[in-house]
Amino acid sequence: MPQLNYRMNLRDRSVASLRWIKALPLGGEVTAIYPVGGATGQLLRRIVEKEGIHGLTFEVLDETRLSFTVLENETGDEYRFVLPGPSLSEPEWQQCIQELRHLSDRPGILVMSGSLPPGVPDDFYARVARMAKDWGTKLVLDSSGPALSAAVQEGMYLIKPNLRELRELTGQALEDEKSWLAACRALVDAGRAKVVVLTLGDQGALLVTHDAVLRALALPIEPASTVGAGDSFLGAMVWALASGQDLADAFQYGIAAGSAALITPGTELCSREDVGRLYSQVTIHSI
């Protein structure tokens, strides 16, 4: 059984990565820490519970936001609508930290994901990182902008930016593979992360550590929807790492799960069968 894995999220972002850890063949114990506000917050809680995911929730005054995706059948175009979310007061976001601090079982892996709501300081993830590092917890971060910039100052185990997020983090144009690799390696050498996984959409992904550089090309898939692909990628990687697999295997599972998510329409979870089939098709080579 994999170690306990906790995902902390201050927004109502997709729970796809947690769903993935629960759904994979060997299973996994996961807990989500997130705020709930109003009727939509209670709906979110019920959805998470229905997925069999243990949740530690805390009440906030403002309503949890709604986000939805519309697929236009004739053209195949996908439109995402992300409505304004709640602002969190200091006592509300501090409650999230308290929930984590009082866990009876220290997590083996802590995934911090999503953008931060209004009212939450840019260094929120950095504060959490300082606390969790004392437990020997591996910190995984999937965020962007000032929240990402502040958090990496504390040193993460793994970060998963896309190319736009890496450009914002480094302030560089990053026009080609050579510059992508140099930027990722600089983050590792500076102690910002032990592992940088750069997702590149239809160009695949790049994994960089102090000792290795792995490159994976995208699988030739016609996407039905891109919703949840990044979360599926990260969920599969976290599951594999918690299961004791090495980084190369975890990276291969991430590519397979992210690709499998593209096959399914809307927010439907990708299937185990698709991931197993695509896993064997993923080609990874060292640079």
Whether residue 119 contacts residue 27, with contact meaning beta carbons closer than 8 Å, is answered with: no
Residue closest to 151 by CA, chosen among 159, 43, 270:
159
82-119: b (≥16 Cβ within 10 Å) or e = eeebbebeeebbebbeebbeeeeeebbbbbbbbbbbee
Residue closest to 160 by CA, chosen among 106, 232, 97:
232
Catalytic residue check, 77 = no
- The Cα 268–Cα 264 span in angstroms is 6
Q: Which one of the listed residues 12, 123, 231, 274 is annotated catalytic?
A: 231
Residues 6+ apart with CB under 8 A from 18: 7, 30, 32, 48, 51, 53, 235
- Residue 171 to residues 83, 164, 165, 167, Cα–Cα distance (Å): 28, 10, 10, 5
Q: Which residues are catalytic?
A: 231
